[in-house]
């Protein structure tokens, strides 16, 4: 099918210790096309200043990845069904908790997409929910994880 790559790099600062576990968790994610994203551990996991507040953490990226994949499928399916989407916004959230095996995991991700439609053909509530259900079923990322992925769509 396809291979997707990301280069993750970290380097210890010259004046930082390491063995004392007091080193910066700041690192860089690099993707094809030259995009670089500042990354860090979550401040919920490693306290500031060892984590970087204005960087993306893996947990946020996980939630964003699920939301983005769902949105891309939703837009494609809506277009194919003849519905014009003007705006789509999702305030997605993930919950870290102990899973059935007693390990800390992202146990639930809930998507809260708000969609604005226009034009002569606007989906009713049932059609709108069906589009989200189909997007969820098609989403590569949701199909790749054990985490329960929920979707609570809204229309503006």
**HEC profile for the chain?**
CCCCCCEEECCCCCCCCCCCCCCCCCEEEECHHHCEEEECCCCCCCCCCCCCCCCECHHHHHHHHHHHHHHHHHHHHHHHCCCEEEEEEECCEEEEEECCCCCEEEEEEEECEEEEEECCCCCCHHHHHHHHHHHHHHCCCHHHCCCEEEECCEEC
pTM, to two decimals? 0.90
Spell out the per-residue pLDDT of the chain, length 156, in tens.
Answer: 799 999 999 999 998 889 999 999 999 999 998 999 999 999 999 999 999 999 999 999 999 999 999 999 999 999 999 999 999 999 999 999 999 999 999 999 999 999 999 999 999 999 999 999 999 999 999 999 987 889 999 888
Nearest residue to 132 via CA among 83, 86, 63: 83
């Amino acid at each position: 099918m396809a291979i997707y790559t990301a280069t993750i790099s970290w380097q210890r600062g010259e004046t930082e210790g390491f063995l004392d576990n007091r080193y910066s968790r700041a690192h860089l994610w690099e993707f094809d096309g030259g995009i670089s994203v500042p990354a860090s551990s979550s401040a919920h996991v490693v306290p500031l200043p060892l984590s970087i507040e204005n960087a993306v953490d893996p947990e946020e990226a996980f939630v964003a990845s699920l939301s983005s994949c769902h949105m891309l499928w939703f837009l494609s399916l809506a277009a194919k069904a003849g519905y014009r989407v003007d705006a789509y916004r999702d305030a997605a959230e993930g919950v870290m908790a102990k899973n059935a095996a007693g390990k800390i995991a992202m146990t639930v991700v809930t998507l809260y997409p708000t969609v604005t439609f226009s034009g002569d053909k606007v989906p009713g509530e049932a059609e709108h929910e069906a589009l989200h259900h189909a997007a969820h079923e098609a989403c590569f990322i949701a199909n790749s994880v054990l985490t329960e992925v929920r979707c609570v769509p809204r229309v503006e």
